[in-house]
Structure 1
């Protein structure tokens, strides 16, 4: 299981141990683990939580955990979320596979670019803060915070988003929820063998993101 390098005298895993480790990683059920972590999150915080992965049409909801009270919305499992006008989409935009994102950017996302003037500043801010927060009235009274989960190779596996009604809580409650959400995503990332990124202050962009006055972001 362990081998010694002849020149340096140091020890390392031999091929058998590496195969066992890779086999164990292959058996990790990401969604089983995510279900446990985010069900506990919804129960402990009372916030509704959705889990999204990247599908053929973009960010797609695959799990939904009701909070207390539950959030009533038109969104459901299978819904595809906009890339720039939703918190979930913005996390995919910041951390997702650039080839997939760019492909969508030149297709379905073109409409969104008419309403978000500086998409790059959104990417930089989310990447720096490790969270996207969106408030809007496309879905009346709904606000959302979304955070990433990474795998062993640093790839974005899924995005978790906490939802709440505008009437509930204060900005302090929101910040507490964001901290708890990031903690849950960090824990799941580490369970998958990944490393949670270090938060960095966002760089100053030459222009600030300015959503159009005629369109507001969807929240999730």
Structure 2
């Protein structure tokens, strides 16, 4: 009888430690994905490897496999690495299964019938506020937005909503909120502001003082609005939804053409949108201050 050869993966159950056995190489390689997920942008090989605590040669071998699986992409021009389409699909699948997103999706159809405009759901992802669901109105305006798109923080209603309500919890208006800021939010705001300053745009905040004033206004209104800013001829609102701990769970977005969309703060879009967000927050266990 031929003796069966064993491999490191054939460890008998009796010899396994209390913690269930796994494949160490998978865990090691995943550290590269974690670093990319936490990074504000693409990384050079040396920086990615250093942050993951491994040599560049070792990191490169993992990255070759991750590229084949489309978990990672490499820019041919800059040679920098970033998360790939497969990572995006996995992230969107995970985000869409959150209870808050499930509950919100059930309420979009009747809300859209009430206001007659396109609706979307956004959550905070690795790179910022991310569109995870889209409910298109029959009179939808053509927009170049897709599931998985990350919205700009200072020129979209979604970005302004997340910037305002992640920076300062509800019920603390006017307080010094620097210690409440999401750890990644301040550098992201500064980077986007610097980019907008280079473009010399006149329809967005120009200084950090302007940013503070705009976000204070968003908190005072209880939702964010942009008109003819993110896209020409398009207006949008984003209303925050909070969980039982008072954290921003998601944003409900409404947008449409200025030819039909009511941009008034107390208009036919803003009022039912705000009410839907308040009701969903309450159903998630949030008690307004």
TM-score, length-normalised on structure 2? 0.55
Give 1:172 shift.
5.7
Other-structure match for 1:17: none
Give 1:110 shift.
3.0
Other-structure match for 2:273: 181
Map 1:172-211 to 2 at 5 A: 175-196=267-288
RMSD across aligned C-alpha pairs, in angstroms?
A: 2.3
Map 1:136-215 to 2 at 5 A: 136=228, 139-170=231-262, 175-196=267-288
**Which of 100, 110, 113 is the equivalent residue of 2:184?**
100
Higher strand residue share: 1
Residues paired across the two proteins, number: 171
Give 1:195 shift.
2.4
Higher helix residue share: 2
Q: Which of these two proteins has the greater Rg computed from alpha carbons? A: 2
| 1:135 lines up with 2:227 in the alignment | yes
- Highest RCO, 1 vs 2 (Cα 8 Å, sep ≥ 6): 1
Cα separation, 1, equivalents of 2:117 and 2:147: 17
Other-structure match for 1:60: 130
Unaligned runs of 5+ in 1: 1-26, 198-220
Deviations 1:178-199 (A, max 9, x none): 01000000010001001245xx
Q: For the Cα contact (< 8 Å) 1:60–1:79, is it kept in 2?
A: yes
Give 1:79 shift.
0.9
TM-score, length-normalised on structure 1? 0.71
Unaligned runs of 5+ in 2: 1-96, 168-180
Deviating 4+ runs (over 6 angstroms): none
Other-structure match for 2:108: 38
Change (3 A) 1:74 1:33: same
Give 1:140 shift.
2.6
Change (3 A) 1:66 1:128: same
